[in-house]
A and B are shown apart, each in its own frame.
Chain A
Amino acid sequence: MQIHSTEQVVFYLLAVVAVAAALGVVFAQDIIHSALFLVVTLILTAGVYVLLSAEFLSLVQVLVYGGGVSILVMFAVMITRVRDARGPLDGAQKPIAIVAGLAIVTVLVLMISRTEWQQAIPAVNRPDESPVRVQRVITQTDKGQLMSDTDAIGHDLFTTFAVPFEVASLVLLVALVGAIYLARGEEDEVT
């Protein structure tokens, strides 16, 4: 394995810890530990996004998965009281789960191997004024203006991908209303 840049070193550090944490999710005896390992994996994924210069996406990853989803998982685990059931949570669906897992691995490996990856790694250009300043991603709009990745995401969401964006928000709204309906229970119940 040849090391080309500092980014690569950082990437391998992140990847090793993320994969180790992912293994921890599967092999941890306590289900709360599994959930905590899952959070580690998700947050380190955000680190990979930073390496790809997608700062906005990485922070949204931390916000949504580190802050929101992990708390939901924790609450679900805690309220369902599975804490007493220590040991591997095997069940009758174990053979099906193995097949499904292998199928997902096959698809992912095929996808990774068939993709044409960009060969040349762009060198880190260090701005002159301050070495600490984080490098900005600059993309161009059709008018030729320079944009940061936040602007680019906003621009694309409201022009090219306006319909999927609205559909996604509608789905979330439906889920929200459904959750409130389920949580309210019977009408005559005293809240």
Chain B
Amino acid sequence: MNVLANWWDLRSLANPVNGLLGWLRDKGWDEIAYIVSGSIGAAAIGLFLGVAMLALIWVERRVIARIQIRRGPNRVGPQGLLQPVADAIKLMQKESLTPRLGDKWVFWLAPLLLFIPTVLTLGVVPFGDGMTVADLNVGVLFIIAVGSVMPLVVFMAGWSSNNKYSLLGAMRTIAMVLSYELPAVISLLSVVVLTGSMQLGEIINFQKDHNTWNVFLLPLPFAIYLIASLAEIGRSPYDIAEAESEIVAGYHTEYSGMKFGLFYAVELANALIIGGLFAVFFFGGWWTYYLDVIIPSWVLFFVKMLLGYWLFVWARGTVPRLRIDQSLKFSWQFLVPMGLLNVVLVAFEVALWYQLDAPGIILAPFAVINWLLTAGLIVGYVRLLKLEHTQTPRRLTLTEDVGIVTHVPAPSAAGYSAAGGSPA
């Protein structure tokens, strides 16, 4: 597993840890080694979450600002780097309100419980070669199962606030998560069928052994998982649960101070984790076509994780919010049947592969077939459902209003341009 298993070889941060544990075990302190390894894992996850939170708030605000053609936070510290710290201090100082007619205990518990699935999921994420806290052999199922507790906590938050907007937001979230959990699970099922394992380490090893990324073999599950995971963590364009123009702020309307901060932090952390899971399931995890010999594997993983996160920020800055009925319909009518068809296809291919006992090169024609069938399925299904293009504003009227000239209008005789100014 390790190229050079010396403790100073930082290409895998597991090496110094293993060195320490090996030293402890040589001394005969097995129990201490057991406790120390657990503590190191927990501390690493805590540290990672803390640092990532601070960094991501800054990245998100700056990137969104760039997309929206404004500057973003740039006063506190160089380039506004200390803005997240200032935000955190501000949140801590704020008064923590509890609705008088709300359910006090449930109201307090919800933001705390919301953190548990996030932290638990990080426990199975392989941050690098041998850098997993617990590489469970049912890792994929673990991620799905732990994530499935999330709507319950959201319900607790929405219900205990004793506020109709909170309750509406919670119900919307639950409807969204229940609808989009299915396509997400089905698309991961394709990955599991192909790689033959639910262990995240084994999924990476499959991609390493066959010199491919899963995204080349499974384009449709990748697309479905991208959309479904966006919806599950409730980020724009799927931030229907907290659509501020409709239901104030959804299930965390009544939360203030650091409790609101926790909801915000969990949303960011979930986006980052989904980025990491993308890397594991579809982009080879820490393995990157021999680059991992030169560059430490954990650096590669972090880069992929942040790219996935950046994709989410990009989507948030550019894609308009969907309506709840549109998004639920899209899941049930389009994503679920597509995903199921793809699972059948992949299962057929894997069965063929085992029957023929063929070498790994057979994956190349499979990839071609999958891409062609994906394109065919999408086009055919859209035709079947008789969905139409809904691009009603044909011209980019908005950019014209702002002043970006897309075409020069012909001079008109009685237009306001002749009058030398626009009528106020």
Give the B-binding residues of A (Cβ under 8 A).
Answer: 30, 32-33, 36, 39, 43, 55-56, 59-60, 62-63, 66-68, 70-71, 74-75, 78, 126, 130-134, 136, 148, 150
Q: Which of B146-197 contact A (CB under 8 A)?
A: 146, 148-149, 151-152, 155-156, 159, 167, 174, 178, 181
Q: Provided the pairs A62-B145, A78-B159, A131-B21 are in contact, do residues A56 and B138 lie with their beta carbons within 8 angstroms?
A: yes
Give the A-binding residues of B (Cβ under 8 A).
Answer: 18, 21, 30, 33-34, 37-38, 41, 103, 105-106, 133-138, 141-142, 144-146, 148-149, 151-152, 155-156, 159, 167, 174, 178, 181, 198
- CB B274 to nearest CB in A, in angstroms, measures 17
Q: Provided the pairs A71-B174, A130-B37, A132-B37 are in contact, do residues A66 and B137 lie with their beta carbons within 8 angstroms?
A: no
Which of A32, A36, A66, A133 is close to B145, meaning CB atoms less than 8 Å apart?
A66
Chain A residues, Cβ within 8 Å of B134 = 132-134
Q: Check B145 against A59 for contact (C-beta < 8 Å).
A: yes
Q: Check B145 against A63 for contact (C-beta < 8 Å).
A: yes
Chain A residues, Cβ within 8 Å of B106 = 32-33, 36
Residue of A nearest to B185 (CB): A63
Chain B residues, Cβ within 8 Å of A134 = 134, 136-137
Q: Check B148 against A68 for contact (C-beta < 8 Å).
A: yes
Q: Check B38 against A132 for contact (C-beta < 8 Å).
A: yes
- Interface SS of chain B: helix, strand, loop or mixed? helix
- CB B128 to nearest CB in A, in angstroms, measures 15
Chain A residues, Cβ within 8 Å of B34 = 126, 131
Could you pull out 13 A-B pairs where Cβ atoms are within 8 angstroms? A43-B149, A55-B137, A56-B141, A59-B142, A62-B149, A66-B145, A67-B149, A70-B152, A71-B152, A71-B155, A74-B155, A131-B34, A136-B137
- CB A33 to nearest CB in B, in angstroms, measures 8
- CB A133 to nearest CB in B, in angstroms, measures 7
Chain B residues, Cβ within 8 Å of A39 = 152
- CB B117 to nearest CB in A, in angstroms, measures 10
Taken together as a complex, chains A and B put the C-alpha atoms of A134 and B200 apart, in Å, by: 14
Chain B residues, Cβ within 8 Å of A136 = 137
Q: Check B148 against A62 for contact (C-beta < 8 Å).
A: yes
Query: Which of B33, B34, B152 is most buried by chain A, counting CB atoms within 10 A of its CB?
Result: B152
Taken together as a complex, chains A and B put the C-alpha atoms of A70 and B113 apart, in Å, by: 15
- CB A121 to nearest CB in B, in angstroms, measures 19
Chain B residues, Cβ within 8 Å of A32 = 103, 106, 159
The 5 closest A-B pairs by CB, nearest first: A67-B148, A63-B145, A59-B145, A62-B145, A59-B141
Taken together as a complex, chains A and B put the C-alpha atoms of A39 and B106 apart, in Å, by: 14
Taken together as a complex, chains A and B put the C-alpha atoms of A78 and B142 apart, in Å, by: 29
Taken together as a complex, chains A and B put the C-alpha atoms of A68 and B103 apart, in Å, by: 23
Chain B residues, Cβ within 8 Å of A43 = 149
Chain A residues, Cβ within 8 Å of B167 = 78
Residue of B nearest to A43 (CB): B149
Taken together as a complex, chains A and B put the C-alpha atoms of A157 and B346 apart, in Å, by: 21
Taken together as a complex, chains A and B put the C-alpha atoms of A81 and B75 apart, in Å, by: 50
Chain A residues, Cβ within 8 Å of B159 = 32, 74, 78
Taken together as a complex, chains A and B put the C-alpha atoms of A74 and B30 apart, in Å, by: 46
Q: Provided the pairs A56-B141, A150-B137, A150-B138 are in contact, do residues A132 and B41 lie with their beta carbons within 8 angstroms?
A: yes
Chain B residues, Cβ within 8 Å of A71 = 151-152, 155, 174, 178
Chain B residues, Cβ within 8 Å of A75 = 174
- CB A43 to nearest CB in B, in angstroms, measures 8
Residue of B nearest to A78 (CB): B159
Which of A33, A36, A66 is close to B148, meaning CB atoms less than 8 Å apart?
A66
- CB A40 to nearest CB in B, in angstroms, measures 11
Chain A residues, Cβ within 8 Å of B149 = 43, 62, 66-67
Q: Check A30 against B152 for contact (C-beta < 8 Å).
A: no
Q: Check A63 against B148 for contact (C-beta < 8 Å).
A: yes
Q: Provided the pairs A55-B136, A59-B142, A126-B30 are in contact, do residues A131 and B148 lie with their beta carbons within 8 angstroms?
A: no
Chain A residues, Cβ within 8 Å of B152 = 39, 66-67, 70-71, 74
- CB B125 to nearest CB in A, in angstroms, measures 14
Q: Check B156 against A148 for contact (C-beta < 8 Å).
A: no
Query: Which of A59, A62, A70 is most buried by chain B, counting CB atoms within 10 A of its CB?
Result: A59
- CB B37 to nearest CB in A, in angstroms, measures 5
